[in-house]
Amino acid sequence: MISRSASSLPRALRVGLALCLAACVACVACSVAAQTAALDAGSAPALREQHQKLAGQLAASPLKRPMHLESTETDGGLQGDVYAVVDHPLDEVRTALANGGQWCEMLLLHINNRRCRVSKQGQGEVLTLSVVQRYDKPVEQAFELPFVHRITSNGNDYLSVRLSAESGPLGTSNYRVTLEAMPLGERQSFLHFGYAYDHNMMARLATKAYLATFGSHKMGFTVVGNKPNGDPEYIRGVRGLMERNAMRYFLTLDAYLDGLDAPPQERGDKRLHRWFEEAERYPKQLHEVELATYLEHKRADRKRDGAKSN
């Protein structure tokens, strides 16, 4: 039916329609390729360009340090990106995060991460991260995220590390953790820490139901307006959720690096205190427990699994 109808059209019109369809297909393909490149590709020039673009936001950041946070929601998923200047040279960042064991040690600073194991598989190192929905849930109730760990670039002026997990809980999938770093002089680095995942309809509905009830008071970092008294109104909903988690994960990296100047036997506790102190700089968004409770859970996890500090 469609074929006979199309063939009855004048030849010039058929050619025009074909060209229009080809252009649309090419446009969609380019859009998909551009989105994929934005998530999966990186380079020293691109990161330098991003640093220049964000210079003003970094200098006048409301986050109380040279840091900028962005979040994105699409029909298919969520993404959060933190950009920051840290007082650590690139070689120090590179050495601190050279292998999966170091990444496990870092990620365990997050309040909801209760266990991390490293294994060797065909695609390289795999980090199996056990995550609980609430900090006080036992590790037996955690869901597991098996992240493939890859160093995708390791040059003198640019470091790129990717973690990826195909599936997660409640209809989530395609988890991506990205670390990019470049030097800023001899003593500083510019970092990009990205955290993203895809979700289906079931995951979106479950998340929105939580945010409409138990999580209704939770907020992110992006200012979307002002309250009648002049106080900032912060973003809520799923983007607020993503911003909180992206910040928590960035703070694991920040605290891990800051522990490097302590003796090996003291690094673990220094990093725990640092992570908590930095999270408490943003109590509206990140406060969950008191320091004593956080330390109790984390030290119990370390004792259970015999964690070592790097």
pLDDT in tens, 137-192: 999 999 999 999 999 999 999 999 999 999 888 788 999 999 999 999 899 999 99
Residue with tokens 């020039």: 45
pLDDT of residue 125: 93
| CA-based radius of gyration for the chain | 22
pLDDT of residue 170: 79
Average pLDDT of the residues in 114-128 = 90
Report yes or no: 127 and 146 within 8 Å, Cβ to Cβ: yes
Report yes or no: 65 and 84 within 8 Å, Cβ to Cβ: yes
Least reliable range by pLDDT among 74-88, 197-211, 212-226: 197-211
Q: Bigger pLDDT: 118 or 11?
A: 118
Tokens of 150: 């890859």
Q: How many other C-beta atoms can be found within 10 angstroms of the C-beta atom of residue 129?
A: 25
3-state secondary structure of 71: strand
How far, in Å, CA of 184 to CA of 243, rounded? Answer: 26
206 pLDDT band, cuts 50/70/90, is: low
* DSSP letter string, 206-262: HHHHHHHTTTTT---S-EEEE-TTSPEEEP-HHHHHHHHHHHHHHHHHHHHHHGGGS
Average pLDDT of the residues in 206-212 = 67
Report yes or no: 113 and 297 within 8 Å, Cβ to Cβ: no
Report yes or no: 160 and 180 within 8 Å, Cβ to Cβ: yes
What mean pLDDT, rounded, does the chain reach?
84
214 pLDDT band, cuts 50/70/90, is: low
> Is 102's pLDDT higher than 50?
yes
Nearest alpha carbon to residue 115 among 138, 97, 134, 149 = 138
User: What one-character DSSP code corresponds to residue 124?
Assistant: E
Please name the residues in contact with 158: beta carbons below 8 A apart, sequence gap of 6 or more.
Answer: 42, 43, 44, 47, 180, 181, 182
- pTM comes to 0.81
> Is 243's pLDDT higher than 50?
yes
Average pLDDT of the residues in 183-205 = 88
Least reliable range by pLDDT among 193-202, 256-265, 288-297: 193-202
pLDDT of residue 165: 94
pLDDT of residue 204: 67
pLDDT of residue 65: 95
**Domains detected in the chain:** 43-305 (3.30.530.20)
> Is 208's pLDDT higher than 90?
no
Sheet holding 158-167, edge to edge: 67-73, 77-86, 188-199, 172-184, 158-167, 143-155, 124-131, 113-121
User: What one-character DSSP code corresponds to residue 198?
Assistant: E
pLDDT of residue 213: 67
How far, in Å, CA of 173 to CA of 180, rounded? Answer: 22
